[in-house]
Homo-oligomer: A and B are copies of this chain.
Amino acid sequence: MQISSRFSVAVHTLLCVEVFKENYKVTSDFIAGSVGTNPVIIRKIMSQLKKAGLLEALAGTGGTYLCKKPEDITLLDVALAVELFENDRLFGFHDMPNPNCPVGKNIHHVLDCHMQVAQAAMENSLKGVTLKDLLLELPQ
């Protein structure tokens, strides 16, 4: 079980848009070539990034640009944009615990808060990294 590569692809996409905006028309084909996947995959992910207000694409003519400054886009923004966590819940849960058992009746209530704390710890970590940080870390 692993978190979908949609996340790493989305980050890759945003980096490409920013890095190559001066010298290339950054199309889904172009990005797909860098990521190593199909252009449609990129378009779907770009569609999610657009809905989240991170990206804008020019219909018809092609070309893409960021809607925010790289220092204002965090990895958490990207993760949420591509719906990495179903219903915003990272942890899955068995849905039929026995309500007649003292453990089954309370397990959900007892475990949930600890799961949420763990998820929040991860999200906070992601929130501390921006696209600009990554751009600076990319070798020239």
- Listed in ascending order, the chain A residues whose CB lies under 8 Å from chain B are 1-5, 7-9, 11-12, 15-16, 19-20, 33-37, 75, 83-86, 89-98, 101-104, 106-107, 110-111, 114, 117-122, 124-126, 129, 134, 137-140
Q: How far is it, in angstroms, between the C-alpha of A104 and the C-alpha of B1 when the chains are bound? A: 25
Contacts of A138 in B (CB 8 A): 102-103, 106, 110
- Report copies per complex: 2
Judge whether B1 and A98 touch: CB under 8 Å.
no
- Expressed in whole angstroms, the minimum distance between the Cβ of A86 and any Cβ of chain B is 5
Contacts of A97 in B (CB 8 A): 12, 34-36
- Expressed in whole angstroms, the minimum distance between the Cβ of A66 and any Cβ of chain B is 14
Chain B, residue nearest A20 (CB): B103
Judge whether A86 and B2 touch: CB under 8 Å.
yes
Contacts of A114 in B (CB 8 A): 75, 125-126, 129, 134
